[in-house]
Amino acid sequence: MDALEALSTRTSPAALTDPAPDAATMERLFAAAMRAPDHGRLRPWRFIIIDGEARQAFGAVLADALRAREPGAPDAVLAKERAKPLRAPRIVVVAAVLRDHPGVPQVEQLLAAGAAAENLLVAAHASGFGGFWRTGAPAYDDSVKRALGLAPTDAIVGFLYLGTPTGVAPPPAADGVARIVHWTGPAPTGEPRR
C-alpha cells in the first residue's frame, strides 16, 4: 500500500482483536512515528506500550482515577472504565514531554507528538492492522500520568488502541472539502470564515 492510499483509506475500526502487531512491525510503526515534523528536533514524544496483563492493571488505574474525579460514580460505570483497556490487544500511550524552549513553543511540541501519533496509526493501517485514538478525562488526569511514569506537566496526546480489525469501519464523512477555502485577502468584516 503506498502512502497516499494508506492516508486516504485509514479509518477507526469499531472493534479490534488479536493479533496485535508483532515486535518487528512495532519497530516499523515507531520508526514511522518518529519521522513526524519536529521543530527544533526536540523529540518531545514518549511511547508507553500496554499489552497483555498490564491492560488489567491499567484498567484499575482508570477506574481509580474516575472514582477520585467522581466519588459517586456507580459500580457499572467504574466497571466500564476498568474494561476500556481490553478493547484491543495493545495500547500505545503517546505523550509529549513538554519543556520550555526559547524557539519552540509548547504547542508545537504537543503538535509534534500528535503528528507522531497519526504517523503511527497510518503505519499500522499500511501494515494490515487497525487502530483508533482515544483521549477523554484520563488523558488529563495527573494520577493517570503519574501511574504511567509521566509528570503532571507532560501531556497525554492519546491512547492508541492497536490490533486486527473485526468487521468494516464506516467510511468517513465526505464533507471535508467544504472546509477548504482559498484565501484571497482579509475578510471584509474581520470575522473569521467558517
Name the one residue in this structure whose C-alpha cell is 482508570.
62
Q: Which residues contact 134 (CB under 8 A, 6 or more apart)?
A: 84, 158, 159, 161
Residue 192 has pLDDT above 90, yes or no: no
CATH number of 15-51+87-165: 3.40.109.10
Q: What is the reported pLDDT for 176?
A: 63
Q: Binning pLDDT at 50, 70 and 90, where does residue 193 land?
A: low
Residue-range domain boundaries for the chain: 15-51+87-165
Q: What is the reported pLDDT for 190?
A: 65
* CB 167 within 8 Å of CB 173: no
Q: What is the reported pLDDT for 178?
A: 67
3-state SS, residue 131: strand
Q: Which residues pair with 48 in a beta bridge?
A: 93
Model's pTM, two decimal places? 0.91
Q: Binning pLDDT at 50, 70 and 90, where does residue 175 land?
A: low
Q: What is the reported pLDDT for 109?
A: 97
pLDDT digits (tens, 9 = 90+) for 44-88: 999 999 999 999 999 999 999 999 999 999 999 999 999 999 999
With the CA atoms of 125, 129, 130 and 133 taken in that order, what torsion angle do they form, in degrees rounded to the nearest 10? Answer: -80
CB atoms within 10 A of CB 84: 20
Whole-angstrom distance, CA of residue 109 vs CA of residue 26: 23
Residue 155 has pLDDT above 70, yes or no: yes
Helix or strand run (H / E) with residue 157: strand 155-165
Q: CA neighbours within 13 Å on the CB side: how many for 132? A: 18
Residue 126 has pLDDT above 80, yes or no: yes
Residue 104 has pLDDT above 80, yes or no: yes
Q: What is the reported pLDDT for 83?
A: 98
